[in-house]
A and B are shown apart, each in its own frame.
Chain A
Amino acid sequence: MAKSYYDPADLRKFGEITEWSEELGKKFFDYYGKVFEEGALSAREKSLIALAVSHVVKCPYCIDAYTQDGLQRGITKEEMMEAVHAGAAIEGGASLVHGVQMMNKYKKLSM
């Protein structure tokens, strides 16, 4: 067993999940591939969304993969950082908006 939970080399092995469940693995990768094709959104736009989400879900594999994908697509580092902020802002907002719940509860409990 590896001594750490995340090994960069494991990203390359992602496709191997199919070996233990071919049907589901294949369905997932077909879906995944389709999602990132050019559509109503460009592949470039989707790459930036993926980068933002990678940060929100804090997946080191995804962050590596979509930083590289962005570089390949000619996405600038300013664009990448703005995408990360967009993700972080939503994540921060999602925490903060619960402040309303706290306020509601506080008020309800207080005399």
Chain B
Amino acid sequence: MPISIIAEFAFMTQKSLHARKDDLSNPVKQLEFLSNGLFAEGELPTFKQKVSQTENTPLKPKKLEILQINLGYMCNQTCSHCHVDAGPDRKEIMTVETMKDCLKAIKQTGAHTLDLTGGAPEMNPNFRWFVKEASKVGIKDIIVRSNLTIIVANKKYHDLPQFFKEHNVHVVSSLPFYKREKTDKQRGKGVFDSSIRALKMLNEVGYGKENSDLKLDLVYNPSGAFLPTDQEAMERDFKEALKEDFNIEFNNLFAITNLPISRFLEFLIASENYEDYMHALVDAYNPAAVKNVMCRNTLSISWDGYLYDCDFNQMLELKVASKVQHISDYNENELQNRNIIISQHCYGCTAGAGSSCQGSVA
């Protein structure tokens, strides 16, 4: 098994692919890679072939429920599985002007959830202003995807739990495992202990507690070339272990499959797991999951205001197939008419119980 490879890898990926000028930092190269080999030779069906067995293609969106905004690719971590290729060396950050365009869209959207992600969204200098403004608009649920360690990374972030509470933010945090070793391998040394400290701070202000309205959900994603298993069983294990070992509480666990793009794709190739992983994804293809893939109820907005079917397509620079491609021209009706752009990475959303930013979908 590739445990030792993962360890080596965590070391190798101290920098983003982007900073290393690696070929895989180029989305066109990634898409090429994902269409060659196994898929070009017909050993595995392409995602399009597979989907069209049970669905009308091209895939169309259903009712828009979630606007996911990526506030920038800068992050205090450089996780080895990161599909954003985020890190301290990434300088792409959403400007106030683009945020204002987003606010206009939020005012007119039918979506009930605003999902702020990154990088570490909190590192955007206008993050707090944006959350305050967005919460005034009255959208039902505001999610911040926090990597936890940012809360303890610097004094200026220590009061984030309090800030989240004041604006009734729904915190969704990644903790790949309830044990130190695997977490640190995937996310970097010391990440586990910092995450535990941050979770305690969130619990202290009332997050994740029974009978509290302050929601704290955790995201689990496998630390290697394997798929997540039953979300409920995982949630049970996480809850028991975190309670027993650290007296930490949380609401729900989302089990997310790693998509074969960006740094995770790099890992798959370097550890010679790529073919097996793609086979595993295709074998686990679940037609029921296709009905609810994330792109059918979500729109993704990048740091520079472009629109995508999902965060993954954003990283592959596959802009929405619509006349409206930028938040400054936002027009929901027009966008809802679009065809969703799919490729082989989509198999990551349809394996087993399916996978989305809200966990399983089938």
Contact = CB atoms under 8 A, between A and B. Distances in A.
A74 B177 contact: yes
Interface stretch (B111-119, B219-227, B316-324): B219-227
Interface size, A (range): 10 to 19
Contacts of A44: 233
A12 B224 CA distance: 19
B270 interface: no
Given A72-B228, A74-B177, A76-B179, A12 B279 contact: yes
Contacts of B237: 74
A37 to B, nearest CB: 12
A31 B304 CA distance: 54
Nearest to B234: A74
Interface in B263-298: 276, 279, 283
B224 A73 contact: no
Contacts, number: 25
B3 interface: yes
B57 interface: no
Given A12-B279, A44-B233, A72-B222, A77 B3 contact: yes
B226 to A, nearest CB: 5
Interface residues of B, number: 16
B229 interface: yes
A31 B328 CA distance: 58
A73 B179 contact: no
B1 interface: yes
A6 to B, nearest CB: 15
Contacts of A8: 276
Contacts of A71: 1, 222, 224, 226
20 contacts: A12-B283, A43-B233, A44-B233, A67-B1, A68-B1, A68-B226, A71-B1, A71-B222, A71-B224, A72-B222, A72-B226, A72-B227, A72-B228, A72-B229, A73-B229, A74-B177, A74-B229, A74-B234, A74-B237, A76-B179
Given A67-B1, A71-B224, A76-B179, 18 more contacts: A12-B279, A12-B283, A44-B233, A68-B1, A68-B226, A71-B1, A71-B226, A72-B222, A72-B226, A72-B227, A72-B228, A72-B229, A73-B229, A73-B233, A74-B177, A74-B229, A74-B234, A77-B3
Interface of A: 8, 12, 43-44, 67-68, 71-74, 76-77
